[in-house]
Structures are given as structure tokens and as C-alpha cells.
Amino acid sequence: MRSTCCLASLLVLPGFAQTPTEANPFFTEWKTPFGTPPFAEIKEDHFLPAFRSGMARQKAAIKAIVESKEAPNFANTIEAYDRSGAALEPVGMVFGALSGAETNPRLQAINRELAPLQAKHRDDISLDEKLWSRVKVVWENRAKEKLDPEQLRLLENRFKSFVRSGANLSAEQKTRMRAVNEELSKLGVQFGDLLLKATKDYRMVVDKAEDLKGLPENQKAAAAQAAKKAGLEGKWLFTLDGPSIWPFLQFAENRSLRQGLLSAYLDRCQAGETDTKPTVARIAALRVEKAKLLGYPTWADFVLEENMAKDPGGVYGLLKPVWKGALAKAKVEREEIRALMAKELPGAKLESWDWRFYQDKVRAAKYDLDEEALKPYFSLDKVREGAFHVATRLYGITFSERKDIPVYHPEVRVFEVKEKDGRHLGLLYTDYHPRPGKRGGAWCGSLRPAREGHKITPLTTNVCNFTRPSGDQPALLTPDETRTLFHEFGHALNNLFYMGQYRGGGRAQDYVELPSQIMENWAMEPEVLKDYARHYKTGESIPAVLAAKIKQSRTFGEGFATTEYMAAALLDMDWHTLTEPKVVDVNAFEKASLDKWGLIPEIPSRYRTPFFNHIFGGGSGYSAGYYSYIWSAVLDSDAFLAFKEKGNLFDPATSAAFRKLLEKGQTEEPAAIYRAFRGRDPKVDALLEKRGLK
């Protein structure tokens, strides 16, 4: 929700030619520590040739599979297919990392050219009738082969992926499927480019110091620094990046400026050259058409078949009771805010740009807790060290910074992760601050995934957009940013621990957030806080009374936080349970959806449709899947309860059992993996209790 990758030494990049005369680094062995990407040597012009070469090599590998005279079996068909994309993996992961964290107009142009090529390449493989016939034979004969659970899972996933890609369609339907996939690939890239431009182009310039009343000094300094960098010395510059907009909405007393900034955020991509509404409408229509081609009534039915929820009914069944509790709590919070606002601003109506500002005042009054007073105890480096320390106490692993690893930007830091006995586990790259070429949000990525039982070790990334250091003051995080760091670090641990053999494991979207969200539970526990939450000037640990106040206020604001998230999750599901492949009026559809669920006007959806990148941008990995954060929240709350029930947040036996869960990834059915850890299915009670929604 706070809201969505790893490996060690490769002597030779599999599938890559080793001809020293070639200048393209993707065609040579990387002689860097642990075989890491040599970023300084990689230029934009290297990507397309490397992608084309990788696709050609995979096609050749597929040709060898289908022309084999041997009878199809797991080794010569499924395992061989799994290995066939090895040459594409390094270039794909490096390009993906740069496209998200350090893009530029040239990379964006390459992405636009590449997207339809990749769509065609995937279709050429998934619609290859000879390959499909071999996969079917292996599937039908699976009982005759002595396959272990992971191999059986891989076979099942490969078989399903062919069916779900259209292998059983008629020739005419396959032709249409190719056209739909190509257009969707282009539209996803287009959406992302328009959103990035709309976000980065906006700026609010403040001329008068009195308009900054209420803002903390570090926020003023950051805005002054941003203005100076933009050639506006003597002024203050605010943007739609998280570290800029959210503190302003929380602390700035100037109500009209709060209104202007939030309105700019919510109205992105609504008009002009960055209008995404036509793109969204077309994507939604094409998804319905694709689902129907494959025999599903809606896009959500198609997507959810592979998730733990299984179908839209399963999702709505979870969302409705949580929505009811969250909305009820939000309405109680609204009355508290209105009461305070009436005293300070008689006659004024509570608006969305007032909520964070007055909520902060209510928190201070109810709990004597000033969030700004907390920030000196949450310097970025200390929070990161705190996350590392939690992992050390849970799993015995250690982290040491490496200065000899190539990075794609000077702000990126790299840490070697080792087992307790000193064995190399993998590398973690951290990249924590916003830049013009970095998309918003936070995510965990990969420069190389673990596989072959961890013989190939992972390179994983944590990319965020946290407040920058200002003057002699380090980057100071809010509690929410602190949880975000722990969250993405949880994804990284999942990548670092993965012990699977293959690339083609499962990916139930509503399970992948469990490893990340469970880490958030440790972040604000008093026992953990006293170790890492230290004043950046004095080094003193956070006072016990302050840690106690944090715990006492843990459910404060959950009505707002859960409601604005749930509104986006419900909006996503409503978009993807459309049954007709026709273009709709985007804003009218969104309004009807949110009105149907009864969203109160003072709380906007976390993402409005025109900038809902999770479900419409790029690969759109969360389409019909944004609900997965709350599904995983049920899992993580229940899983953390296993530690609490032992009376020890670092219980060795529970830690070992949870590490086994992480090591498996999705090499088995997620529900079975969870039951093996917990001894039963998850219960929703722990989540409702944690959020105060009972």
C-alpha cells in the first residue's frame, strides 16, 4: 500500500557472445565484482541491438526445441524453454531499472519502439503451434515423470500461460490477439510518458515568505534549494513529488495554496497534451476484448484466475467489509476535524485540501504527538540501518557497503548481504531521492534474479522518493516514509532469499506484498524503535514516552488512509469488470464508481483514473490487482501475529519458518506455502484489530 529483484557472481552472461571486438557491453562478459552491470559502459544505443539479439537468440532456442527429434519431456521442453530467454534477461533488467529510476527522452523513445517489438516477440512464442503441442504432451504425461513440486508448478504455469495467451484460438482470433497485444503495449508506454511529463512539468513557485507559514524549516529549505536549482533564487519551489506535496498539505497554513497544489495533483492528465483519458478508455476496451477472446467475461476474471482471490467475487467479498469499516471510521474522523476547524475557521467548509492539515492538529491534541517533532529521530541512514538490524536479528544476515560496485547514479549505494557464516547472499542497491528522470512512488526491482537454488545470486534494488538532505541536516523521514523503506526492504529480502531453480515461477499478485508489508510491522514497535530511532544531532534514542505515543496513536488516521486506498482498489475493480469492449467516458465512469461506493467528497481516491499508473501504465502489473495490498495486509497481519503470540518479535523458530516461506517464492501454490508457515489459513481479525476497523 505504501506503496509495488536480486544475485552474485556470473562468470559468463548466459547466451551472450564473448567477442571482445564488439563495443556493446551486453555482448561481452562483465568483469565487474559479482558480474554486476557496468553502468558507465552502457549507452542508450546499446539497448535496441541487445534486445534484437536477445530475441533472435531466444527464437533460435525455441526453434531447436520444436525441431528436436526427441519425444517431449520436462527437460527438453519445459526446462529448455525456461532457459531460452537468458540472453534477454540482463538487457531487459538494466533497461527496466533505468526506465524507472533514471530515464531520459532517448530511453523513452527506445521504449516506445521496443514495446511493440516485445509484444510481437512474446506472441510469436506463445502462439507457436509446434511449441504448444510439445508443452501439451508434457502436461498430459506429467504423471509419468517424477517431477518435484517446483517442477510441477513450473509445468502448470507454462501450460496455463500458453492457454491464457491464446494458443487454443483459431487463426483469425490469433491474428486479432496479436493486434490487441501490440496496441496495448504501445498504449501502456504512452500512458507512462504522459503521466511522467504531467508530473514533472508542474511547479508551484512561492514568492513571499509569509505564504510558507506553518511549514517546517527543513521543508522551506528544501523548497528554496529546489528553486535555486531551477534558476529561481530567492523563491520557493514546490512540485508534485511526494516529499514536496505531502508536507505542504500537512503543514502550510495558506489554504489557497494548499488548494492549488492538491488540485494540480488530482487534475493531472485531464487536458491538453498530457491528457491520458483517451488512452485509458482505449486500454479498458481492449482488455475487455482480449478477455472475451480468451473466453473470460471480464478482464478481472482473466487476471484473478491466477491470484489467490480467484475471481471478482473473491475480491469484492474481501473489500466490502473492510470498506464499510474504513468509511465508518473516516466519517468519525471527519467530525473530529470539522469540530476543530469550526473553532479555527468558523463557517468554512471542510475540503480535501484541509484534511491533512487539520488531521495533524487533531493528532497533536489527542495524543500530544507532533509528527514534525518525530522526524529528527528518523534520519534516512538510521532508518535504513534499523531495517538492516531487524533482518540481522531475524535471519542472522549482515550488510556491508561496497564502494567498488558500478551504479547508474551517484546517489545509489550498494550493500553486500552475507549469511551469518559469511557466505555471499547477494547485493542490495538503494536509491532514495526524487530526480527529474525518476517516476514517482517506491518500488523494489531486480538487476538479476536468484535461481538454480541460489547458485546464481541476486542483485536487487530499492527505489524510493524520500525527502532530500537540506544544508547540514540529513534526510529526515516521516513515519509513513519510514514504513515505506521497511516495506520495499521486505521485497528485497524476498528476492535475496529466493531458492527456486527456475525463472518461470508463479506470480499471484495478491501474495507478493506479504513479504514487504510484514516488515512494516517491525518499524514502529518500541523494541525496534529504541535501536534505530536516534536524534540525528545528539544520537539519543527516541524517548520512551514518545515511542509510547506512537504506539497509542497507531490507529489514528486509519479511516482516511484505508478509505483513500480502498477507493482506488474498488475503482480498479470496477474498471476491470466491464463486460463490453467499448470506449467509455472516463470521468463519468469514475464518478459513478466512487458515488456507488459512497466515497465522501473530503477524501479523494488515492489515484484518480487519468494518473492511475499501477493499472494503466507500462506493464500495468496491478490491473484488477490493486486490491492485492489489502489482501496481503490480511496475510501480513496474521503472519506478524505468529511472532506476537510467541511473546518475542524475533522468535528464532518463527523467523526460520518465515524465511522458508520467503525462500520458496511462489514455487508452490501460495495458499499452501502460507498454511505450511502458519498451520492454518489466514484470518482477517488481526488486520481489523491493527487498523481499528472492528
> Which one, of 279, 92, 289, lies nearest residue 179 by Cα?
289
540 is catalytic: no
Say how far apart CA 411 and CA 380 lie, in whole Å. Answer: 13
> Which one, of 495, 427, 430, lies nearest residue 462 by Cα?
430
Q: How far is CA 179 from CA 51, 174, 192, 300, 303, in A?
A: 21, 9, 21, 21, 20
Say how far apart CA 380 and CA 327 lie, in whole Å. Answer: 33
Mention every residue, 6+ apart, whose C-beta is less than 8 A from residue 293: 166, 169, 173, 176, 177, 180
Q: Which three cell numbers stand for residue 677?
A: 508457515
Q: What angle do CA 519, 524, 530 make, to 5 degrees?
A: 115
610 close to 269: Cβ distance less than 8 angstroms:
yes
Residue 402 host element (H or E): strand 398-402
Residue 61 host element (H or E): helix 47-66
Q: What angle do CA 497, 501, 506 make, to 5 degrees?
A: 80
Say how far apart CA 429 and CA 32 lie, in whole Å. Answer: 15
Q: How far is CA 100 from CA 5, 96, 246, 559, 687, in A?
A: 14, 6, 22, 31, 32
Q: Is 599 strand, coil or helix?
A: coil
The C-alpha cell 495524543 sits at 367
283 close to 153: Cβ distance less than 8 angstroms:
no
Say how far apart CA 292 and CA 311 lie, in whole Å. Answer: 15
Q: What torsion, rounded to 10 degrees, do the Cα atoms 489, 492, 498, 503 define? A: 150
Choosing from 488, 513, 520, 602, the catalytic residue is: 488
Q: Is 694 strand, coil or helix?
A: coil
Which residue(s) pair with 531 in the sheet?
A: none
Say how far apart CA 397 and CA 421 lie, in whole Å. Answer: 9
What are the residue numbers of the active site?
Answer: 488
